[in-house]
Structure 1
Amino acid sequence: MLNTFTSYQLITKDISKSIDRIEQQPVVDRDTKYYLANITKVKSIDDFVKNDRLFKYAMKAYGLEDMDYAKAFMVKALKEGVSDPDSFANKLTDKRYAEFVSAFNFAANGADATIYNKTQQLVTKNYAIQAQIAGLDPNSAYVKGETTYYLANITKVKSIDDLMSNSRLYTYALASFGLDSATEDKDLIKRVLQGGVRDPHSVANKMTDKTYAALASAFNFEAYGENTTTINPAQQPTVDKYMRQTLEEDAGQANQGVRLALYFDRKAPTITSWYDVLADTALASVVRTVLGLPDSFATADVDKQAQLFEQKLDISDFSDPEKLGKFLTRFTSMYEINHPTSSAVTSVSVLFAQPLTVGISTDLMMAMQKLRF
């Protein structure tokens, strides 16, 4: 049996091929085909939760398969949506629920939740509003004709250049946000679209007029590339998440350390504070292993844990692929030392297990850890 470090390296050396192998598993392939063939037929929360096969697939994709029995709980979360900061999902500590509700956003998008795409539904809705503001009848032959043309062709657009080279689509897109294609600087619009909205310092985000950020958010080529005009989080993105979850679970059946490393690698870009780590038992377990801390350290005061992590590690390293790679190399090596492959525990429960309370005292460990490596 391969050790933790080698197994992890083999999987991540070509993650696409590793995912491809998962996709080819008969059960995975069958369930995925069923999901994609039927999810767009779902028009309500009731439709969703009553189709057990679709619902369980979606829940697993977001790492919530252990809660797929709690349908009343999930219905409440879905009904309240995520627009309100005080909604049920947003108030839950575990942010996977808010992510799930955001993907299946029936509260905001109603019957269109599983087909909603900003470049389609949002833009055409905005265009009708802008037409009315300009004194045009949204039901006029002209407005309807432009919308019909737009919807028939926007899904063929695969890049910023595609959009900007079709003057009719480009004019419609800008008009839906109250912008005039005849007077707007094309170079500026291109830079707005290229920069997207993920970076706080992108061109759109730095502009005082937030109309440009709204445009970049709708035509988010920076984030979604050629899938921008067709993507819906309930469709292929959910399938992609399902494949990644399955990859991690399969790896964990052979070596739990590999699953933890893959999980940390996936979550790392979303980590913004040490409290994010401490709120997730799996992430915290990885960090403790790297720092040589026992599981019992998890019972120490949370603020003290965060303070120690901050002293020992630079959280910004998790946003740097090279530094993250070195961190996970250390983890897989340390995990192998602590859990030799020949006697590795393969139970997936360790991912969300409660911290143990045995071994050296946390006070002593705090004192020891003041000595840097």
Structure 2
Amino acid sequence: MTFEPVLPFQGYIGWRFLERTAEAQQTAFSQSAPVQRATDYFRENIGDIRTASDLVNDRQLLSVALGAFGLDDDINNRAFIQKVLEDGTLAQDALANRLADNRYADFSRAFGFGDSPVPRTVLSTLPTEIINRYETQQFARAVGEQNNDLRLALNVNAGISDIIARNSTNDGRWFSIMGNAPLREVFQTALGLPSSLAGIDIDKQREVFQERAQAVFGTDDIAEIATPEQEEKLIRLFTIRSEAGNLAATSSSAAALTLLQSTPRLFP
């Protein structure tokens, strides 16, 4: 993409600036020539697609389809993506349901190749649905090329909304957050949890996440954390703690380099 977001600040200050300017920047991004070409092609051609094979064999369509779910890096994994789409999401052993990252299930469900005799590509509303997601995700991706923390923060609202929409229980919503790599990173960092948490039993992980959420937000109910005030607190904690961690790592590296440079040479 040729569009470069304006991001003059880092951390939470950077987030507040982006939050204020996101609408105008998103519009400029969506109107840029590369995005317009990609979305125009998708809108004009997706209605002719009837099978998963049709989709994966059209690289331009597949690029938008994957990009709408933040799965851009899978553009060359055509056999894998075709299997995800053909299996659908209704069977418990469907490939998308067996993957830790639940974005694949969202992706498969959106096109419906494996869930219905007639795919969702025939729906007149599908192009707009996917294009809106694509423009949002790709703007976040452009932001992420300069600052990945801000990219993750941009995806919080839509990510949580998707999870609430497809899960009726609070426990199920927590499992979905834990299985969504970008959201998990935001929650894990904001709640001050170590990355090593991923190595313990999955039910215990959920309990730890919920206990920390209760302590930090006064609730472990994802629907309540999804309110604007709580989401803002989540992002504030995430950006502040992430920036602090990055500064600490940079300081440690600088200190180690200084120590090495000041150590007398043992050999002439």
TM tier, shorter chain?
A: 0.7 to 0.9
User: In structure 1, what is the Cα distance between the partners aligned to 2:93 and 2:197?
Assistant: 33
Of 121, 137, 143, which aligns to 1:245? 137
Partner of 1:231: 125
Of 229, 237, 240, which aligns to 1:333? 240
Deviation at 1:312, TM superposition (A): 2.2
Deviation at 1:20, TM superposition (A): 0.9
Deviation at 1:47, TM superposition (A): 2.3
1:205-216 paired onto structure 2 within 5 Å? none
User: In structure 2, what is the Cα distance between the partners aligned to 1:57 and 1:32?
Assistant: 7
User: In structure 2, what is the Cα distance between the partners aligned to 1:82 and 1:294?
Assistant: 31
Q: Which stretches in structure 1 are left out of the alignment for 5+ residues? A: 117-229, 344-373
Change (3 A) 1:87 1:322: same
- The code of the aligned residue for 1:39 comes to I
- The code of the aligned residue for 2:144 comes to G
Deviation at 1:306, TM superposition (A): 2.7
- Any idea what the Cα deviations from partners look like across 1:187-209, whole Å, max 9, x if unmatched? xxxxxxxxxxxxxxxxxxxxxxx
- Contact residue 190 and residue 238 of structure 2 kept, 8 A: yes
Deviation at 1:338, TM superposition (A): 2.3
Deviation at 1:297, TM superposition (A): 4.3
Give the number of aligned pairs: 226
- Any idea what the Cα deviations from partners look like across 1:276-332, whole Å, max 9, x if unmatched? 333234333222322334434444554443323222212323221221112212222
- Any idea what the Cα deviations from partners look like across 1:123-144, whole Å, max 9, x if unmatched? xxxxxxxxxxxxxxxxxxxxxx
Partner of 2:220: 315
CA RMSD of aligned residues (A): 2.6
- Any idea what the Cα deviations from partners look like across 1:242-274, whole Å, max 9, x if unmatched? 111112111112212111212233212316433
- The code of the aligned residue for 1:62 comes to F
User: In structure 1, what is the Cα distance between the partners aligned to 2:89 and 2:208?
Assistant: 34
Q: Which moved more, 1:50-59 or 1:292-301?
A: 292-301
1:25-174 paired onto structure 2 within 5 Å? 25-107=32-114, 108-110=116-118, 113-116=120-123
Partner of 2:4: none
- Contact residue 4 and residue 255 of structure 1 kept, 8 A: no
User: In structure 2, what is the Cα distance between the partners aligned to 1:282 and 1:24?
Assistant: 26
Change (3 A) 1:89 1:287: closer
Q: Give the TM-score, by structure 2 length.
A: 0.73
User: In structure 2, what is the Cα distance between the partners aligned to 1:92 and 1:336?
Assistant: 30
User: In structure 2, what is the Cα distance between the partners aligned to 1:44 and 1:282?
Assistant: 29
SS at match of 1:79: helix
Partner of 2:191: 291
Change (3 A) 1:241 1:312: same
User: In structure 2, what is the Cα distance between the partners aligned to 1:44 and 1:302?
Assistant: 35
Percent identity over the alignment?
28
SS at match of 1:330: helix
SS at match of 1:254: coil
Q: Give the TM-score, by structure 1 length.
A: 0.54
User: In structure 1, what is the Cα distance between the partners aligned to 2:200 and 2:89?
Assistant: 33
Q: Which has the larger radius of gyration?
A: 1
- Contact residue 268 and residue 318 of structure 1 kept, 8 A: no
